[in-house]
Amino acid sequence: MNTVKGPAIFLAQFAGDEAPFNNLENIARWAAELGYKGVQIPTWDARLFDLKRAAESKTYCDEVRGILSRHRLALTELSTHLQGQLVAVHPAYDIAFDGFAPQSVKGNPRARQAWAVEQLQFAAKASANLGLRAHATFSGALAWPYMYPWPQRPAGLVETAFDELSARWKPILNAFDAAGVDLCFEIHPGEDLHDGVTFEMFLERTGNHPRCNIVFDPSHFVLQQLDYLEYLDFYHQRIKMFHVKDAEFRPTGRQGVYGGYQPWINRAGRFRSPGDGQVDFTGIFSKLTQYSFDGWAVLEWECCIKSAEQGAAEGAPFIAHHIIQAASSTFDDFAKSGADHAANRRMLGLT
């Protein structure tokens, strides 16, 4: 068994224009002072990171690692969640998701998709240059507007969507394979890959690609009412990344899973700071250790009640408390009697 690494923190929710969140040096110092041992970097935020430069320059990558090393931090992974979303966008979401794209491709879905694919290819090379083993992203979505089958979905609609989705991602998966890096999709509502069944549909269409893997985030399963502990039993071999994020689901006679179009604070299902929700993190860390997960426990902080600063400060000790030091021996070794093949046969009466 392996001991889960951590604590680490995803910087996306904290980057800003004011110190200490305005550049990599400052935010690294802040994270280290809170007790984090690693950071996960969002590649779309130029205040923290230059993705194209990292893909083209090992010298720049050495500089990034040097900044983190000064603060005794490891780089856990890079993230292209926003760019990955743009690999596949249903026209209903064109205007909304244009906000993730540079000005040069806004209003041009074909150019926007090409830009997103290029970003993922940069991410494969940058991850390799940084010596990373895994990368986080979103799958995007073509079928999501048709999640609820009313009106009845035409036969073959979902299959066509997943055929196209896998066709778009297979060259990217191949690029990550060439770089020696696992591409991990965060299983997330709003993405076509939002549970186990949809991941399997996609995985099959990629030919069970060895680089097609998962970012495990239990908060999204609480909101779907999916058994996230059994999910680990089913997919632990494909889970290469872990986001520590909490959530709660408290349905009423007026509202359930769909949330009634309410803001997060008024939804039956909502994200909470770790320890404030319903996620069984003791069970999760136990299963991850049991299955020899050798990645990082990374805080992805999102909460509709608690401040980001308090959530980050509480996150490092929360993760550290839950990390299990994997056993190196069996607890009943003290009673070991010693045996050999002949003795075993005698014990079974096989003389």
Q: Which sequence spans correspond to the domains of the chain? A: 5-347
What is the rounded average pLDDT for all residues in the chain?
96
Q: At 338, is the pLDDT very low, low, confident or very high (cuts 50, 70, 90)?
A: confident
Q: How far apart are CA 207 and CA 193, in angstroms?
A: 16
| Residue 11 exposed, middle or buried by CB count within 10 Å (0-12, 13-18, 19+) | buried
For the segment 263-288, the average pLDDT, to the nearest whole number, is 98
CA angle 135, 136, 140 (to 5 degrees): 130
Task: Quick: pLDDT tens for 239-259.
Answer: 999 999 999 999 999 999 999
pLDDT score recorded for residue 334: 61
For the segment 85-109, the average pLDDT, to the nearest whole number, is 97
pLDDT score recorded for residue 340: 85
For the segment 208-222, the average pLDDT, to the nearest whole number, is 98
Class for the domain spanning 5-347: alpha beta
For the segment 221-229, the average pLDDT, to the nearest whole number, is 98
- 339 φ/ψ sector (left φ>0, alpha ψ -120 to 50, else beta): beta
- Specify the residue for token string 């991410």: 123
Residue from 49, 122, 129 nearest 83 by CA = 122
- Indicate whether 115 pLDDT > 90: yes
Query: Which pTM value belongs to this model?
Result: 0.95
Q: How far apart are CA 49 and CA 79, in angstroms?
A: 11
User: How many other C-beta atoms lie within 10 A of the C-beta of residue 16?
Assistant: 13
| Rounded-to-10 torsion of CA 17, 23, 28, 33 | -40
For the segment 218-231, the average pLDDT, to the nearest whole number, is 98
Whole-number percent of the chain with pLDDT over 90: 93
pLDDT score recorded for residue 335: 63
**Among 62-76, 110-124, 165-179, 324-338, the least confident range:** 324-338
The token duo for 238 is: 């494909």
Q: At 328, is the pLDDT very low, low, confident or very high (cuts 50, 70, 90)?
A: confident
Q: Are 242 and 216 in contact (CB under 8 A)?
A: yes
pLDDT score recorded for residue 5: 98
